[in-house]
């Protein structure tokens, strides 16, 4: 691949570099870790760059479907070659306008968070003369992976509480314009280890089978979620799961004997695992400052460039190193961005070699939750460049633009 230093000189900083070969390898590794019959949804929120979306559908083997939660993401995946039938539309706040757009574009599969959500989908579908297949998202009361980031089991805007779902069955089955197609789970994120991931999938599959009996609906699709781990903004390699395939198949054989013939179809979903390792963020050093015994490296990109997880309180620390080899680490420093807010911090007490203005730092495993998950509009600074490579080939260079549009002549 073209060197980072050369790319930084040609296109400036801050810049993201995405390697499509690494995207393809992560996609193929994850498919290899899943039984052949299991489908995979790519969570577009992780990185909706057009080249990455297209890569999810590339290759000679299995390809991803798309999981989205906005009409903006819908436009992106359709432009990248996905069909409306490839799409799962999720999210707790789907409006009538969004649903109209999605159904008009051929989307027929929706994750449903509540009875009100289901009714709104049904009303829109009836108006358009179609039927929407709906997966009931489940907020499970219990889980199996106690060492990972839990996504269920607490009061939440996401999903039906599992303990109340059976009592709602008559109402859920009787919403015009909808058909209950199955269930949607997302019980954990970034599983600590393969054993935790397997345990959670086993628990989810058992729960799904029990709910199928209680609801009295033969499921056509069960999305058992994700939880696949990958380092984010720190050095390291994503795991390759060697035991998941057989364990997942065994659990499905036990609880859904017809799954291999598609009764029901089984799906997983992933975002960060598929794209985090493909990206490197290049950030330039603007200034080095000492203040009351502390050292600050002032960078040309901060939470406006790499702020998605910071805004969610889930970043720190990051791994940062000079793009070119240096000596031993020196005085620890705080890594701060260019914004006029003390919250613009990417790292504290980071030990680095002697750094000077004009140097370029790199953050590894930054292919997910980058520009579109950051405070791009704050202070009106330019968005970072996004450089896509494949091997030695520079595939594309792009930058998100901020554009304000006006609607004239509208009564207020």
Helix (H) or strand (E) holding 311: helix 308-311
Domain ranges of the chain: 20-274, 277-399
**Is residue 154 predicted with pLDDT exceeding 60?**
no
Question: What's the pTM value of the predicted model, to 2 decimals?
Answer: 0.93
Under the banding of pLDDT at 50, 70 and 90, the label for residue 3 is confident
Lowest mean pLDDT: which of 210-214, 231-235, 236-240?
231-235
**Is residue 118 predicted with pLDDT exceeding 60?**
yes
Express each pLDDT in 271-286 by its tens digit: 999 999 999 999 999 9
Q: What are phi and psi of 347, to 5 degrees?
A: -175, 150
Contact criterion met (CB below 8 Å) for 49 and 23: no
pLDDT above 70 covers what percent of the chain?
A: 90
Say what the pLDDT of residue 308 is: 66
**Is-same-fold flag (20-274; 277-399)?**
no
Contact criterion met (CB below 8 Å) for 77 and 55: no
DSSP 275: H
What is the C-alpha to C-alpha distance for residues 18 and 8, in angstroms, rounded to an integer?
Answer: 14
Closest to 270 (Cα-Cα) out of 57, 26, 5, 80: 26
Under the banding of pLDDT at 50, 70 and 90, the label for residue 371 is very high
Say what the pLDDT of residue 206 is: 96
Between residues 353 and 260, the one the model is more confident about: 260
Helix (H) or strand (E) holding 8: helix 4-11
Alpha helices in 151-193 (DSSP H): 169-173
Under the banding of pLDDT at 50, 70 and 90, the label for residue 315 is very low
Say what the pLDDT of residue 335 is: 92
DSSP 373: G
**Is residue 287 predicted with pLDDT exceeding 80?**
yes
Express each pLDDT in 20-72 by its tens digit: 999 999 999 999 999 999 999 999 999 999 999 999 999 778 999 999 999 99
What is the C-alpha to C-alpha distance for residues 208 and 226, in angstroms, rounded to an integer?
Answer: 15
**Is residue 153 predicted with pLDDT exceeding 60?**
no
DSSP 259: G
Give the mean pLDDT of the chain. Answer: 90
Q: Which residues contact 168 (CB under 8 A, 6 or more apart)?
A: 115, 160
Q: Which two tokens stand for residue 154?
A: 């607490």
Under the banding of pLDDT at 50, 70 and 90, the label for residue 328 is low
Distances (CA, A) of 42 to 46, 77, 159, 319, 371: 8, 10, 20, 26, 18
CA-based torsion, 308, 311, 317, 321: positive or negative: positive
Reported in sequence order, the residue ranges of 197-351 that DSSP labels E, i.e. its strands, are 221-223, 265-270, 279-291, 294-299, 321-322, 333-336, 345-350
Q: How many CA atoms lie within 13 A of 226 on its CB side?
A: 20
- Hey, what CATH topology would domain 20-274 get? TIM Barrel (3.20.20)
Express each pLDDT in 185-207 by its tens digit: 988 888 989 999 999 999 999 99
**Is residue 405 predicted with pLDDT exceeding 90?**
no
Q: What are phi and psi of 208, to 5 degrees?
A: -60, -40
What is the C-alpha to C-alpha distance for residues 68 and 25, in angstroms, rounded to an integer?
Answer: 22
Instruction: Label the pairing between strands 15-19 and 385-390.
Output: parallel
Three-class secondary structure of residue 175 per DSSP: coil
Say what the pLDDT of residue 147 is: 47
**Is residue 146 predicted with pLDDT exceeding 70?**
no
Under the banding of pLDDT at 50, 70 and 90, the label for residue 311 is very low
**Is residue 410 predicted with pLDDT exceeding 70?**
no
Peptide bond into 264 cis (omega under 30): yes
**Is residue 406 predicted with pLDDT exceeding 90?**
no
Under the banding of pLDDT at 50, 70 and 90, the label for residue 208 is very high
Under the banding of pLDDT at 50, 70 and 90, the label for residue 145 is very low
Say what the pLDDT of residue 351 is: 87
What is the C-alpha to C-alpha distance for residues 241 and 198, in angstroms, rounded to an integer?
Answer: 10
- Find the mean pLDDT for residues 330-340: 89
Q: Which two tokens stand for residue 215?
A: 């609801």
For 277-399, CATH gives 2.40.37.10
Say what the pLDDT of residue 158 is: 67
């Amino acid at each position: 691949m073209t060197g980072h230093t050369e790319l930084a000189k040609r296109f400036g900083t801050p810049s993201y570099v995405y390697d499509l070969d690494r995207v393809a390898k992560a996609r193929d590794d994850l498919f290899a870790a899943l039984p052949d019959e299991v489908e995979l949804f790519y969570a577009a929120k992780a990185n909706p760059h057009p080249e990455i979306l297209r890569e999810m559908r590339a290759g000679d083997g299995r390809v991803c479907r798309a999981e989205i939660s906005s009409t903006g993401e819908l436009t992106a995946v359709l432009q990248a070659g996905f069909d409306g039938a490839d799409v799962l539309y999720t999210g707790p706040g789907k409006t009538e306008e969004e649903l109209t757009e999605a159904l008009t574009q051929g989307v027929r599969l929706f994750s449903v968070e509540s009875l009100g959500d289901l009714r709104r989908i049904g009303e829109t579908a009836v108006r358009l003369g179609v039927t929407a297949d709906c997966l009931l998202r489940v907020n499970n009361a219990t889980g199996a992976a106690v060492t990972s980031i839990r996504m269920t089991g607490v009061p939440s805007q996401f999903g039906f509480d599992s303990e109340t779902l059976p009592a709602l069955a008559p109402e859920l089955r009787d919403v015009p314009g909808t058909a209950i197609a199955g269930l949607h789970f997302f019980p954990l994120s970034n599983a600590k280890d393969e054993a935790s991931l397997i345990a959670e999938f086993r628990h989810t599959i058992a729960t799904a089978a029990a709910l199928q009996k209680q609801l009295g609906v033969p499921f056509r699709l069960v999305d058992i979620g994700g939880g696949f781990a990958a380092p984010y903004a720190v050095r390291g390699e994503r795991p390759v799961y060697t035991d998941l395939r057989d364990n997942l198949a065994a659990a499905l054989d036990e609880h859904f004997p017809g799954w291999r013939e598609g009764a029901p179809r089984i799906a997983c979903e992933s975002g960060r695992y598929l794209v985090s390792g493909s990206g490197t963020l290049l950030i330039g050093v603007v200034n080095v400052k000492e203040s009351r015994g502390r050292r600050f490296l002032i960078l040309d990109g901060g939470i406006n460039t790499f702020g998605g997880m910071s805004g969610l309180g889930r970043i720190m620390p990051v791994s940062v190193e000079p793009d070119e080899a240096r000596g031993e680490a020196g005085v620890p420093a705080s890594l701060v961005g260019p914004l006029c807010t003390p919250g613009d911090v990417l790292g504290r007490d980071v030990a680095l070699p002697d750094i000077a203005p004009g140097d370029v730092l790199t953050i590894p495993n930054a292919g997910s939750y980058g520009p579109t998950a950051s405070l791009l509009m704050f202070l009106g600074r330019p968005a970072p460049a996004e450089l896509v490579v494949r091997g030695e080939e520079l595939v594309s260079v792009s930058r998100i633009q901020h554009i304000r549009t006006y609607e004239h002549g509208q009564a207020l």
